[in-house]
Structure 1
Amino acid sequence: MTTVLWQLGEVLDLVVGGHATRYRILGRTGDGLNLIGETDSRAQFVLESELCRMWAAGEARRVRDPKDVLNREQRLFVSRSMDTMTASERAHANWLAPYLMAMKRVKKRIGPSSRRKLEELIDRVAAEKGHARKPSWRTVGHHFRQMQLPGADGRWLAPRVSARGNRTARYGGFEAIIEKVLREQVLIPNRRPLTLVHAHLQRELDAYRAAAPSGERVAPKIDVRTVQRRVSMFQANEKVAAWHGPNAARRKHRPVGAGPEADWPQQRVEIDHHLLDVLVTHPKTGTVLGRPWLTVAIDKFSRMIVGLHVGFEEPGDLTVMLCLRQAIKPKVQMLRDYEMPVDAWPCQGLPETIVVDNGPEFHSSSLDDATTQLGIDVLYCATRTPEQKGSIERWFGSLSTGLIHALPGTTKSNTVARGEYKSEKEAVLTIAELRELIVRWVVGEYSIRVHEGFKGIPLDQWRQGVAAHPVALPTEVEDLDVLLSPTEERTLTRQGVRLHGLHYSTNHRRLGELLNAHDKPDKSVIKFDPSDLGEVRLLDWQMNRFLPLRCLQFEYADGLTLREHQEVTNCARDKLDEGGRLYESDLLAHRGWMSGKIDELNARGKLKGRRAARFSGADEGVAPVRPRKSVPAPEAGDALGLPDPSNDDDDEFADLGITIQTIR
């Protein structure tokens, strides 16, 4: 065992049983040290090997300045690492150290009070080091004596200028008044000028002085510069929170750390929306329609994009479900349509957790039902916390700089970046072309380049992850299409159901059985596709499956979008006959008139923006068209041969005083 130099009288803090006890070294006995407790004066013998082990493990700490030579501020100063000191403080310590080292090297000890010998030593060291400035012999002697104290080291040589000065409050008992007034006048949203704050503070101090008993200290006079200095001493995040709100303070001043991570593919999928910085045009007329929304799902484990949706629909539960549907399904058919390798985008499978925004538009029973059945946990982010979806936020930036800002018709990120570029004149892309470009960029560039986050390639990361942890798929793809569709509740009558003012029914005998069932609910669950109102699905509450229902006005509703139907019905209000009756022929006529009018206005450039896209059908991304099953066409009028007009309170036409009658 190597013998360690422990100084006589050195103080140690030993941690035993989680508690630190202070001991002083009395001497050495054999291979150990004799210690005595500072508080209880109990003697203790410790093997030197055990003491070294405790020191290496942090259980024994050598106490600096046990004789209290330094004051509190100085003691804190010498406890700092040299790396935390200023450049001038480190330079002074490094300049002084060679003189003390030389005193330790001389064979014959030089006393710290021997002026002649110290001056000779100082001259010799200064000549060796080339120092133009030399310390005085008193300075060297003083520091040499301090370096002999237990716990002293080279940090004691640094000038302790920052530890000097008065640490007591300048204004004594008035500090509380000054602090209170400054916080009330400055840390508010409509903060006041410092001159007014200074005047108000002085009035408060004068009032306190007038009310104080005689003999107490007179209130001090404070100038504007003191007020300015005190305000500057408030914490930056505290001032930003008071002036601009807590969210601004959190974004600007909260430390940025690593976000949640995932250990395998589809464990955590983040879904977010972005208004693309590019204008798209109508596929037929070339009219500028506006900027579409992009909804993206990214796998946190591999950073692969597992699903995306491009359309003019505002972000909400519908866009989340459409994006989630593509994220779960294989992408083979899409890649074939784009003539790309079918294995270039292998992402599919059920995510375990999806992270979405917390707005009211993202809370719906349809999304809750779908995620519950599929076993997906939905995590709603707190408002204004983009760091909870940091991966996808950064991805939008990469997409903009890597693709969108290079496309014709881009609007850039702001007017400054756009400059004199005429976005509307240069816009030529349709939404279908934009969707293909985004898919090609995701598959052909983003997925196969090194990701800065984990220094790997997303596609390789995905393939390695699914090899060790395979992803799950739903039992049936039809279940997925039904689940990830909007849900409504309507009354089931002998005419079937009414949804958005349209009748839906079928000749299937099962509908009659449900209609006459003893347990028929007041409201039945309906699933519909917003991109095609020709068919809906009625929940068979007894068989626990969905029954397809066809629209009685099928010629009108086949391929009709919900947005188009709403526009048609709004225009049809002015075409009612005297009896307030709206016929199917009227609906077909108005649908044709609206379609022609849209083409005319698009050609003349008078109908722009996402409203035109929603109506004209240019928004191909509203919802995918699912394969239609063969549904028996119901007879005109009552599908069951029981003509009895329904009186549904939810009927939109009924609210307008309109009755739909089908003409044979």
Structure 2
Amino acid sequence: MSGSPQRYVEGDHLRITEADGTPHLWVVRKRVVRGWRLEPVGGGDTRTVTDRDITRMRQQIEHYPQGRAGLTADQEELLNRTFESNKAESCIEAMRRAEYLWHAYRLHKEGIPLNAAFERAASEIFAEKGPTWQKEDDEAAAVRETARAERRRVPPELLKSPNKPRKPLAAPKPSTIESWYHPWMAVSRDIRILVPLIEKRGNRTSRFKDERAFIPERMKIYIETMFLNDRRASLNEVHKLLNKELKSKGLKVSYKCFQAYLLKNYSEHEEVKRRFNWRKAHLETGVFKRKRPPAKPLEEIEVDHSLLDIIVVNEKSGRPLGRPWITLALDRCTRMVLGVHVSFEPPSFASLQRCLAHAFWPKDLTGLGLSNPWPAEGIPRLVFCDNGKEFHSRSLKLAELSMGFTVVNLPPRQPWLKGKVERIFGRIGIQVFDLMEGKTFSNPAKRGEYKSVASAKLTLPEVKEKLLKYFVDDYHVTFHDGLKGTPLEEWQRHAEVDRVEGVRSYEDIRRLMGATFLKPITNVGIKIFGLVYYHDDLKELRRRRGGTTKRFQVRADPFDLGEVEVLDEETGRWIVVPCDRPELAAGVSLHQARTNDKRARRLAEGGPVTDLHRAEGQRLEAEEAAVALDDTEAKTTAARAARYGLDNGCFFTPLVGQPTPANDPAPVPVGGEAEGHEGGNDRAGNPEPAGGGADPDVQAAMLAMMAQWTRRSA
């Protein structure tokens, strides 16, 4: 770096800002070889800086010629802050003073003595600028008077006339200009030294020498104990209580004084935090850094659940069923919808599994009457979601490790951190269901007297059809201001350059995205909700050291418990284990299995639960679900029955190469069993089950067989 050596004089001051941003004031003591010896103001170790160091640090060095050491502490404070940080009135006054000083400085440079230069500057500048300054002051005073009257609610007729002239400006005396000039020159004509110290004027000591000296302390106590708490009393009422106490001593505090004490001693953040909570204060007074969107597709995706703002009805009976849930995955880079699942299954790992499987694998839109493709697929790098139990489940953690993505759980009650998926939920309510019968609006206040349940007409397949049409032929091909294009165009543009990472096979999705359990191997096999799974290979696992007490990792399709897989940790392979009573498990979901198990236990009345009880419980649940769904006279919704009996497990669209039909009738389970215990674990509670089960003829044959087996055992 090139630069000329700087000329300093012994006694000059250098203000050097260090690398950490801390400023230090140094005094130039003497010239050394190719550098200068500096001493810190206030004493301390000296420092030598070379000419090259000074050239390199020119932006961090402020030079003040000798004489600054005689400045007062208040003047030093002015030089340690920016000019703009002062009040507007003080800045205006400083700029006017600078007009006088620069004029005097130029006159002195022309050879005019300083005293004469000060006199000429006072008269000439005031004659030129005075009328303009007077007009500016009058206008500013009128604005202040109007604002003051509005705050005090003074009637307009009592206002001072805005055109009434104020105290006229006067030219400063030459001696006054001289008092400004020397400090100004001592700091290299820095305008900050000219800022008037208005706040330092007057007697700054306490004027309360008698019993009134305790008033500030009482104001603090009343504000701390009565105003700054969650009872949120009004400041006016607290002020009245304070004056009641002071009245006995013949004292009084005005409301303006009381309010000024609050504003001076307590920040807005502290007031909101103590009267409400930290979160509200953080949101109202915080500053938040915007996050740059990812540069590639599937770098970051957002996943969330939401209730749709529409009441759906049963296809056969027309009974209102309630509001279905939607689980949606959205790519942050391109805003493409990656995967969707719509059902009556509340937020759980099962609904999440269906959505992610739909997002990871290519969609088959053949014969669906759509005008545009839906090319979004692949494994993401980061999955941003909230803190629902399904996002902390063991099943999802295993899927992370198996498929190579990472789940990022965002802080609770901060939906704006995944605002893109939250925003599309709002768009669905407006752009898809706003004109539909049975809409529920965004809240009861907006719904008013509208009868959403009585007006409902759409079935669940019709809702899915409208959503599919909206995503593919509307949202994906609509211009997005943030993208400067459409989501589909952005995805296709990036896909040509940044290849997406796909899943190896559909079977990988089915296996790796299955619900996981930790279960022991008993003497009859593995039990899940009373269903027993047996295979000869389980004998070898149980015979090993600790095999009778060990809990093995079990994986199952959450929509079909006909078979499960058990991990052999020594060989690293998964053993497929079928249910020994397939008529009780084939096509049965986790939610159905849990519901059937509870019913069977009630039928057993505290005794041993046999397969006969389980078959009877399954039949009763199926019948009750059918009755609830087919009740045409009902005026209420049947979401609980719909959760048990409808096709909640079917994919939103068919998947390419899917070995089973997309409309698989297996309902979606909840995430409780997947955590290794037989109990509910979903956010929507544990609603009453209904519907679904095995074929009635198969059940009848099985019941007869079980009755005969029971008699023989007896």
CA distance in 1: counterparts of 2:172 and 2:130, whole angstroms: 15
The answer for the alignment partner of 2:328 in structure 1 is 296
1:293 aligned partner, one-letter code? W
Q: Normalising by the residue count of structure 1, what TM-score does the alignment of the two structures yield?
A: 0.73
Cα offset, 1:327, TM superposition: 1.9
Local SS of the residue matching 1:151: coil
Verify: 1:663 aligned to 2:666, yes or no.
no
Give per-residue Cα distances to partners, 1:616-637, cap 9 Å, x unaligned.
31645599997469xxxxxxxx
**Match for 1:470 among 479, 489, 499?**
499
Verify: 1:152 aligned to 2:179, yes or no.
no
The answer for the alignment partner of 2:689 in structure 1 is none
Local SS of the residue matching 2:370: coil
Equivalent residues of 2:437, 2:458 under 8 A apart: yes
Give per-residue Cα distances to partners, 1:218-262, cap 9 Å, x unaligned.
x99774745554444422222333333323333333322224754
Verify: 1:597 aligned to 2:627, yes or no.
yes
Local SS of the residue matching 2:288: coil
Verify: 1:58 aligned to 2:60, yes or no.
yes
The answer for the alignment partner of 2:143 in structure 1 is none
CA distance in 1: counterparts of 2:601 and 2:18, whole angstroms: 88
Verify: 1:109 aligned to 2:112, yes or no.
yes
Local SS of the residue matching 1:396: helix
Cα offset, 1:614, TM superposition: 1.0
Give per-residue Cα distances to partners, 1:7-30, cap 9 Å, x unaligned.
996522356999956134999x9x
1:338 aligned partner, one-letter code? L
How do 1:417-432 residues align onto structure 2 when only pairs under 5 Å count?
417-432=446-461
Equivalent residues of 2:597, 2:614 under 8 A apart: no
CA distance in 2: counterparts of 1:159 and 1:651, whole angstroms: 74
Q: Tell me the C-alpha RMSD between the 2 structures.
A: 5.1
Q: Normalising by the residue count of structure 2, what TM-score does the alignment of the two structures yield?
A: 0.69
Verify: 1:539 aligned to 2:539, yes or no.
no
How do 1:120-159 residues align onto structure 2 when only pairs under 5 Å count?
120-122=123-125, 124-126=127-129, 135-138=170-173, 140=177, 142-159=179-196
Verify: 1:512 aligned to 2:536, yes or no.
yes
**Match for 2:26 among 22, 26, 35?**
22
Q: Structure 1 residues 402 and 75 mapped into 2: Cα distance closer, same or farther (>3 Å)? A: farther
Local SS of the residue matching 2:627: helix
The answer for the alignment partner of 1:216 in structure 2 is none
Equivalent residues of 1:96, 1:135 under 8 A apart: no
The answer for the alignment partner of 2:359 in structure 1 is 327
Cα offset, 1:136, TM superposition: 1.1
Q: Structure 1 residues 234 and 9 mapped into 2: Cα distance closer, same or farther (>3 Å)? A: same
Equivalent residues of 1:122, 1:137 under 8 A apart: no
2:318 aligned partner, one-letter code? G
**Match for 2:268 among 236, 245, 266?**
236
The answer for the alignment partner of 1:364 in structure 2 is 393
CA distance in 2: counterparts of 1:257 and 1:301, whole angstroms: 18
2:322 aligned partner, one-letter code? G
Local SS of the residue matching 1:298: strand
Q: Which moved more, 1:480-489 or 1:132-141?
A: 132-141
CA distance in 1: counterparts of 2:46 and 2:461, whole angstroms: 86
1:610 aligned partner, one-letter code? A
The answer for the alignment partner of 2:440 in structure 1 is 411
How do 1:255-334 residues align onto structure 2 when only pairs under 5 Å count?
255-259=287-291, 262-331=294-363, 333=364
Local SS of the residue matching 1:663: helix
Equivalent residues of 1:498, 1:651 under 8 A apart: no
CA distance in 2: counterparts of 1:413 and 1:433, whole angstroms: 21
Equivalent residues of 1:14, 1:59 under 8 A apart: yes
CA distance in 2: counterparts of 1:2 and 1:580, whole angstroms: 96
CA distance in 1: counterparts of 2:316 and 2:66, whole angstroms: 83
The answer for the alignment partner of 2:141 in structure 1 is none
**Match for 1:247 among 272, 275, 279?**
279
How do 1:465-614 residues align onto structure 2 when only pairs under 5 Å count?
465-489=494-518, 497-503=526-532, 511-515=535-539, 518-519=543-544, 525-533=553-561, 535-539=562-566, 541=568, 544-547=573-576, 549=578, 552=581, 554=583, 558-563=586-591, 582=612, 586=616, 590=620, 593-601=623-631, 603-606=632-635, 608-614=637-643
Local SS of the residue matching 1:604: coil
Local SS of the residue matching 1:346: coil
The answer for the alignment partner of 2:14 in structure 1 is 12
1:663 aligned partner, one-letter code? A
Equivalent residues of 1:14, 1:21 under 8 A apart: yes
Cα offset, 1:5, TM superposition: 9.8
Cα offset, 1:356, TM superposition: 2.8
Equivalent residues of 1:82, 1:155 under 8 A apart: yes
Listed as ranges, the gaps of 5+ residues in structure 2 are 136-167, 662-676, 681-700, 706-714
CA distance in 2: counterparts of 1:311 and 1:383, whole angstroms: 25
Cα offset, 1:70, TM superposition: 4.8
Equivalent residues of 1:289, 1:608 under 8 A apart: yes
Local SS of the residue matching 2:704: coil
CA distance in 1: counterparts of 2:45 and 2:277, whole angstroms: 57
Cα offset, 1:481, TM superposition: 0.7
Q: Structure 1 residues 41 and 326 mapped into 2: Cα distance closer, same or farther (>3 Å)? A: closer
Local SS of the residue matching 2:68: coil
Equivalent residues of 1:313, 1:622 under 8 A apart: no
Equivalent residues of 2:12, 2:67 under 8 A apart: no
CA distance in 1: counterparts of 2:479 and 2:120, whole angstroms: 67
CA distance in 1: counterparts of 2:483 and 2:652, whole angstroms: 34
CA distance in 1: counterparts of 2:598 and 2:410, whole angstroms: 37
CA distance in 2: counterparts of 1:253 and 1:355, whole angstroms: 26
CA distance in 2: counterparts of 1:525 and 1:623, whole angstroms: 30
CA distance in 1: counterparts of 2:207 and 2:575, whole angstroms: 80
The answer for the alignment partner of 1:189 in structure 2 is 230
Q: Structure 1 residues 34 and 5 mapped into 2: Cα distance closer, same or farther (>3 Å)? A: closer
Give per-residue Cα distances to partners, 1:304-335, cap 9 Å, x unaligned.
3322222222223333322222221112x1x3
Q: Which moved more, 1:515-524 or 1:537-546?
A: 515-524
Equivalent residues of 2:479, 2:485 under 8 A apart: yes
The answer for the alignment partner of 1:639 in structure 2 is none
How do 1:623-642 residues align onto structure 2 when only pairs under 5 Å count?
627=659
Equivalent residues of 2:352, 2:390 under 8 A apart: no
Give per-residue Cα distances to partners, 1:549-602, cap 9 Å, x unaligned.
256352x6554455456666767788889999736874675366335412432x
Verify: 1:347 aligned to 2:371, yes or no.
no
2:628 aligned partner, one-letter code? I
Give per-residue Cα distances to partners, 1:443-473, cap 9 Å, x unaligned.
3344444545565654444445444543333
Local SS of the residue matching 1:22: strand
